[in-house]
Amino acid sequence: MARAPQDFDTLRHSASHLMAQALLELYPGTKLAIGPCIEDAFYYDVEPTQPITGDDLVTIEQKMLEIASRELPIERVELPRDDALAMVAQIEQPYKTEIINDLPDEAVISFYRQGDFIDLCRGPHIANTSAIKYVKLLSIAGAYWRGDARNKMLTRIYGTAWFTQQELDDHLNKLEEAKRRDHRKLGRELGIFMLSPEVGGGLPLWLPNGAVLRETLESFLKKEQLRRGYNPVVTPHIGKLELWKTSGHWGHYGNSMFNPIAVDDEQYMLKPMNCPFHIQIYKSETRSYRDLPYRLAEFGTVYRYEQSGELNGLTRVRGFTQDDSHIFVAPEQLFEEFKSVVELILHVFNTLGLQDYTARVSLRDPASDKYVGSDEIWDTSQAAIIRAVDEMGMQYTVAEGEAAFYGPKLDFMVRDCIGRQWQLGTVQVDYNLPERFDLEYIGSDGAPHRPVMIHRAPFGSMERLIGILLEHYAGAFPLWLAPVQAVILPIADRHVGYAREIQAKMLEVDLRVKVDDRNEKTGYKVREAETKKIPYMIVVGDRDVEAGSASVRKRSVGDQGAMPVDEMIAMFKNEITAPKY
């Protein structure tokens, strides 16, 4: 039976209430904060009377099922504000008092009751607790009351609920699959990267296969950028603190930068971004309107002092390489240039096999004062972004309050092949830095004008991208990306010479190929190449030496039979230039 997404939301919201009820029965005195449904799951934030541990989850889950089996009807009760406050005071739920006090005057205040449990809630809910049968509590975490780090840390219990056992099993299998694809696990197994406490948190070391992968991705994008009129530049890893003061980042993000380094009488910063350097290059000559758009691109490694608890594999690190570019345009060029940047980003995603993406337009929150720049500038640039995505017919969502302090942005979220969303590429419009660094170009009228900057990074960062690609492909990269594209397996020692000949031919045409000449049986080598996710295994023995052929085995498919070596090489080259997903 097909169900609407809101049916699942309702079920999970009710499951969250059921969990709260179970908690109160098991641990009377527990204070309830909020308990919403989220994608595929639900949680409840509570202040427990004693610490809740992972072992307690089973107990709570069993209690939930026991209460559900009482087949309690779930009823909605609406109360005037004063009665509502009296009610939550009587059941001693101070967080609910706070929530009611924050509700607007005209709000309808409703409660939902099941048995002797009652909770403040807008609803809707399912009709009876008995519908909650397939539920699993997943984890425990800390969460601040109202998401504010200055508030008390509550205990958040996550769970998931479904209508059938099959759905629940499928979901739990998906979580297992995600664990199996974890890029931190695959990164080590496949020799992509490592993290070492000796080096420091969030500072990955790239292993040989990872370095090859990075180079492959870099040269792909560099080539695309050259075609589109980008100018490559290289800038240093440190620069004077003054630059970040001028840019405004020191004031906004100073606490998440590495401490300044004293050099002679100056303060230097490990660069947290490349913008000020590219700006200096722009300023090094008088620019004309004929030079614009002026596009500077760099794979720039930046360092940010991310909070220790936030570091995670390759997806959140303290040193990372952005595929950064700053484009200086005349205001009237902004719209067209923005569109061509979006076009490049989409081309990149398609080539990488990440076809399932959505865009998010991040606008400023008009009520906040954290933004710089005039209202007119914001209105113009926000309108330009929306017009561009509209004209390109893209699906997008609008997120108010998600803009950077200096301008609105367009972010791309990709969905990997098991449905998880990740943020990758970004395009940002910036009227602020040109102002702060007093940038100009000479217009056709002979007078100076102020350019607009576009910051953009299709990959976002090499680290994040590779983390996501590892999980998306579960380590089994398409041929053009695979760090080792093929391994040649000589059957016996006397075939090693022939294997080396084939390898030389393949290296000649830029195929990344190795020879496995270890003293092991072919079956063993095949098994190892499969686990290392190498796309092709080339077995050579007496028959092949005789015929000038090679026996090709395709990863996870199997033996493709023997073919002449030249034909095999042509097949590989063809697959690389015409990738299929």
Partner RNA sequence: GCCCUCGUAGCUCAGGGGUAGAGCGCGUCUUUGGUAAAGACGAGGUCAUGGGUCCGAAUCCCAUCGAGGGCUCCA
| Active site amino acids | 275, 304, 322, 324, 326, 409, 455
524 part of the interface to RNA, by CB under 7 A = yes
47 backbone dihedrals φ, ψ, rounded to 5° = -110, 105
Shortest distance, position 242 Cβ to RNA, whole Å: 15
The site map against RNA for 270-289 (x = CB under 7 A) is: --xx-x--------------
User: How many residues of this chain bind RNA (CB under 7 A)?
Assistant: 71
Shortest distance, position 74 Cβ to RNA, whole Å: 27
153 part of the interface to RNA, by CB under 7 A = yes
Shortest distance, position 189 Cβ to RNA, whole Å: 7
Which residue from 19, 84, 190, 195 is in contact with RNA, where contact means CB under 7 A?
195
| CA 225 – CA 231 distance, rounded (Å) | 8
360 part of the interface to RNA, by CB under 7 A = no
Closer residue to RNA in complex, CB, 163/305: 305
Give residues with Cβ within 8 angstroms of 64, minimum separation 6.
15, 18, 19, 21, 22, 132, 135, 137
CA-nearest of 280, 291, 285, 294 to 326 is 294
- Read off the tokens for 234: 């290289």
Stretch that binds RNA, among 14-22, 139-147, 291-299, 376-384 (CB under 7 A): 139-147
Shortest distance, position 38 Cβ to RNA, whole Å: 8
| CA 351 – CA 160 distance, rounded (Å) | 35
| CA 24 – CA 54 distance, rounded (Å) | 17
Which residue from 188, 223, 283, 450 is in contact with RNA, where contact means CB under 7 A?
188
Stretch that binds RNA, among 73-81, 196-204, 342-350, 378-386 (CB under 7 A): 196-204
527 part of the interface to RNA, by CB under 7 A = yes
Closer residue to RNA in complex, CB, 113/532: 532
* Degrees to nearest 5, angle at CA 471 with 465 and 472: 80
Which residue from 284, 395, 519, 577 is in contact with RNA, where contact means CB under 7 A?
519
- Window 445 to 474, contacts with RNA (CB under 7 A): 455
144 part of the interface to RNA, by CB under 7 A = yes
50 part of the interface to RNA, by CB under 7 A = no
Q: Is 578 helix (H, G, I), strand (E, B) or coil?
A: coil
155 part of the interface to RNA, by CB under 7 A = yes
- Read off the tokens for 203: 């500072």
Shortest distance, position 327 Cβ to RNA, whole Å: 15
Closer residue to RNA in complex, CB, 337/411: 411
Which residue from 542, 564, 567, 574 is in contact with RNA, where contact means CB under 7 A?
542
233 part of the interface to RNA, by CB under 7 A = no
Residue type, 32: L
564 part of the interface to RNA, by CB under 7 A = no
How does DSSP assign 541-559, residue by residue? -HHHHHHTEEEEEETTTEE
Residue type, 273: M
316 part of the interface to RNA, by CB under 7 A = yes
- Window 53 to 82, contacts with RNA (CB under 7 A): 53-54
The number of beta carbons lying within 10 Å of the beta carbon of residue 483 is: 22
Shortest distance, position 76 Cβ to RNA, whole Å: 29
Which residue from 540, 565, 568, 569 is in contact with RNA, where contact means CB under 7 A?
540
Shortest distance, position 380 Cβ to RNA, whole Å: 20
304 part of the interface to RNA, by CB under 7 A = yes
- Read off the tokens for 107: 């709000």
306 part of the interface to RNA, by CB under 7 A = yes
Which residue from 558, 577, 578, 580 is in contact with RNA, where contact means CB under 7 A?
558
Stretch that binds RNA, among 3-11, 72-80, 123-131, 305-313 (CB under 7 A): 305-313
- Read off the tokens for 205: 């070391």
| CA 363 – CA 383 distance, rounded (Å) | 10
392 backbone dihedrals φ, ψ, rounded to 5° = -85, 0
Q: Give the strand pairing for 193-194 and 205-206.
A: antiparallel
494 part of the interface to RNA, by CB under 7 A = yes
404 part of the interface to RNA, by CB under 7 A = yes
492 part of the interface to RNA, by CB under 7 A = yes
Shortest distance, position 344 Cβ to RNA, whole Å: 18
372 part of the interface to RNA, by CB under 7 A = no
How does DSSP assign 398-412, residue by residue? EEET-SBTTB-EEEE
| CA 478 – CA 472 distance, rounded (Å) | 11
Tally of CA atoms within 13 A in the half-sphere of 442 that contains its CB: 5
Stretch that binds RNA, among 115-123, 206-214, 298-306, 503-511 (CB under 7 A): 298-306
Closer residue to RNA in complex, CB, 111/193: 193
Stretch that binds RNA, among 26-34, 222-230, 344-352, 553-561 (CB under 7 A): 553-561
Closer residue to RNA in complex, CB, 484/526: 526
* Degrees to nearest 5, angle at CA 286 with 282 and 291: 70
Residue type, 219: S
Cβ(348)–Cβ(225) below 8 Å: no
Which residue, chain included where needed, has tokens 């072992």? 55
Which residue from 363, 429, 491, 569 is in contact with RNA, where contact means CB under 7 A?
491
| CA 117 – CA 100 distance, rounded (Å) | 18
C-alpha 367, offset from chain centre = 28
143 part of the interface to RNA, by CB under 7 A = yes
How does DSSP assign 63-119, residue by residue? HHHHHHTT--BEEEEEE-HHHHHHHHHHTT-HHHHHHHHHS-TTPPEEEEEETTEEE
Cβ(193)–Cβ(207) below 8 Å: yes
Closer residue to RNA in complex, CB, 212/489: 489
Which residue from 14, 516, 551, 568 is in contact with RNA, where contact means CB under 7 A?
551
Which residue, chain included where needed, has tokens 């995600």? 178
149 part of the interface to RNA, by CB under 7 A = yes
Closer residue to RNA in complex, CB, 83/559: 559
- Window 238 to 267, contacts with RNA (CB under 7 A): 249, 253, 256-257
| CA 371 – CA 355 distance, rounded (Å) | 33
